[in-house]
Amino acid sequence: MIDTALAERTLGEALSSGGDFAEVFAEDRQSTSASLDDGRIEELGSGRDRGAGIRVVVGDTTGFAHTSDLSETGLLAAARAASAVAREGGGGTRRVALGARRDHRTEAGQPPESVSKTTKVSLLRRAEAAARATGASVVQVSAGYGDVRRRILVANSDGLLATDDQVRTRLMVSAVAKGDAGLQTGYEVVAHTAGLEEIDTDGRVERAGEEAARRALVKLSARPAPSGVFPVVLKGGSGGVLFHEACGHGLEADHIAKAMSVYTGKVGEQVASPLVTLVDDGSVVNEWGYVAIDDEGHAGTRNVLIEDGVLTEYMWDFLRARKEGRASSGNGRRQSYAHLPMVRMTNTFLLPGREDPDEIVAQTPRGIYVAQLGGGQVNTATGDFVFGMTEAYLIEDGRITEPLRGANLIGNGPEVLGRVDAVANDFDMTPGTCGKDGQAVPVGCGQPTLRLSAVTVGGTAGD
């Protein structure tokens, strides 16, 4: 996209009016999407977006400009616009010499451009057929496919020069079942930072359709969820989003710097049950939040945030880390070249423990078993959260019994972390999209089966 000499000239222009730091982020994104609804292909499209964002930092002030023109003229103009905030800095020219380029690439057995659109559409039809085959009560099926190949280059005035060639592939299936309980919906998502080979293997396409339909069918016989305070068992993988939202965002350094997190100033303190070790790890290959390098050019790394219940670290982007005289943790991410990077999670998960998942249920006389959590909201300043449960069951006498519907988990992040009283030896991850300040990035969430001793359940029926 940009050769080394042009990157150096662009950085030099960005700093020509003064400045402490400059960065060029170039991106070339190619994508394909397809959607199916009740047997009809509703969308089949592809797109390409190329451009660069230029960032200049002067003290605590950041100037930013972006352009879709990757010619020298376009880049230098964007550099001058970004450096406008530094024009009182005395002028002069600063030459930037970039180091050896570090190249990275997703190992994709079937990169998107090597697979025909006909093949991609066939995935949707196979998923739909599998969903409908589960029973006549399935009255509607929709499915979506998407892939993206994203090439990025990052160069900065510290001499960093790095590239990455990322491939992500995703399949989503939604099914609607009709019965005495009305219309009920279930969904399943399969997504990897890899080529089509990670989606179309070992019957995953068909299983996604079957699982979406199963979840919808289960809800047809579900009873309204009770309200009250209950022990809650979260199935492996299903509750990762709870910890992503309820405590992950509160451990991002921008919230810490602004004292907008309940975890500000608590490094070294016990903030969770001793059974809890929380990790953010962008280096987990193939997972949805995998980054060989983040969007500031720094390697995706494993960061232990909470260890045995003790807060050990926050997540850092480059500029906030630089200000504190420390290294980036590889958590600087942006939606596209038109956005500034900020501190974001990658793959965030709780490490497994030693208990058997079935035994955890058996040791719970009465409670709620959550097989899949839905969307939620959290206040990072207080830690308060609300999450929907899209698949849940009653636990009675240590057995999973009736399915439930219409329930939310309501609580506080730090309190919930302290109520983890059993952690199983299984583990699973789920893909998701994290929104923050108007930007969306792919993330992974995960955890083993675990039990929370007491959580408020907002249901639609009295207990």
pLDDT number for residue 13:
94
Under DSSP, the state recorded for 83 is G
Q: Strands 399-405, 407-412: parallel, antiparallel or unpaired by DSSP?
A: unpaired
What b-and-e string marks burial along 411-431, b requiring 16 or more CB atoms within 10 Å of the CB?
bbbbebbbbbebbbebbbbbb
Give the other-Cβ count within 10 Å of 114's Cβ.
Answer: 11
Please state, in angstroms and rounded to a whole number, the distance separating the CA atoms of residues 435 and 256.
18
DSSP calls for 401-460:
EEEEESEEEEEEHHHHHHTEEEEBS--EEEEEEEEETTEEEEEEEEE-SEEEEEEEEE-S
Give the other-Cβ count within 10 Å of 377's Cβ.
Answer: 10
Taking the alpha carbons at both ends of the chain, their separation in whole angstroms is 62
Is residue 321 within 8 A of residue 315, CB to CB? The reply is no
Q: Which residue, 177, 169, 163, 222, is CA-closest to 195? A: 169
CA angle, residues 430, 447, 196, in degrees to nearest 5: 25
For the segment 441-460, what is each residue's pLDDT rounded down to a tens digit? 999 999 999 999 999 999 87
pLDDT number for residue 90:
44
For the segment 302-311, what is each residue's pLDDT rounded down to a tens digit? 999 999 999 9
Give the SS3 label for residue 143: strand
Helices vs strands, H then E, count in the chain: 9, 23
- Sorted by where each starts, the structural domains of the chain and their CATH numbers stand as 4-221 (3.30.2290.10), 224-458 (no CATH)
Q: Is 354 exposed, middle or buried (CB count within 10 Å of its CB: 0-12, 13-18, 19+)? A: exposed
Is residue 62 within 8 A of residue 55, CB to CB? The reply is yes
Please state, in angstroms and rounded to a whole number, the distance separating the CA atoms of residues 253 and 7.
29
> What are the tokens at 336?
């596209």
| Residue 182 bridge partners (DSSP) | 179
Please state, in angstroms and rounded to a whole number, the distance separating the CA atoms of residues 145 and 318.
34
Q: Strands 61-67, 310-311: parallel, antiparallel or unpaired by DSSP?
A: unpaired
pLDDT number for residue 180:
87
pLDDT number for residue 176:
98
Please state, in angstroms and rounded to a whole number, the distance separating the CA atoms of residues 447 and 461.
29
For the segment 231-288, what is each residue's pLDDT rounded down to a tens digit? 999 999 978 888 898 889 999 999 999 999 999 999 999 999 999 999 999 999 999 9
Q: Which residue, 106, 114, 81, is CA-closest to 10? A: 81
Give the predicted TM-score (pTM) of the model.
Answer: 0.93
pLDDT number for residue 93:
42
Q: Which residue, 151, 200, 208, is CA-closest to 175? A: 208
Those residues whose C-beta lies under 8 Å from the C-beta of residue 339, and which sit 6 or more positions away, are 53, 439
- pLDDT, mean of each 10-residue run, the chain (463 residues): 94 90 97 96 94 90 90 94 67 55 83 92 97 97 97 97 97 96 93 95 97 96 94 92 88 93 95 97 97 97 97 96 94 97 97 97 97 84 88 97 92 92 96 93 96 92 55
pLDDT number for residue 374:
85
| Residue 355 bridge partners (DSSP) | 424
Under DSSP, the state recorded for 72 is H
Rg (the chain; Cα; Å): 24
Q: Which residue, 318, 309, 162, 320, is CA-closest to 256? A: 320
Please state, in angstroms and rounded to a whole number, the distance separating the CA atoms of residues 148 and 201.
19
Please state, in angstroms and rounded to a whole number, the distance separating the CA atoms of residues 70 and 337.
12
Element (H, E) at 42: strand 40-58
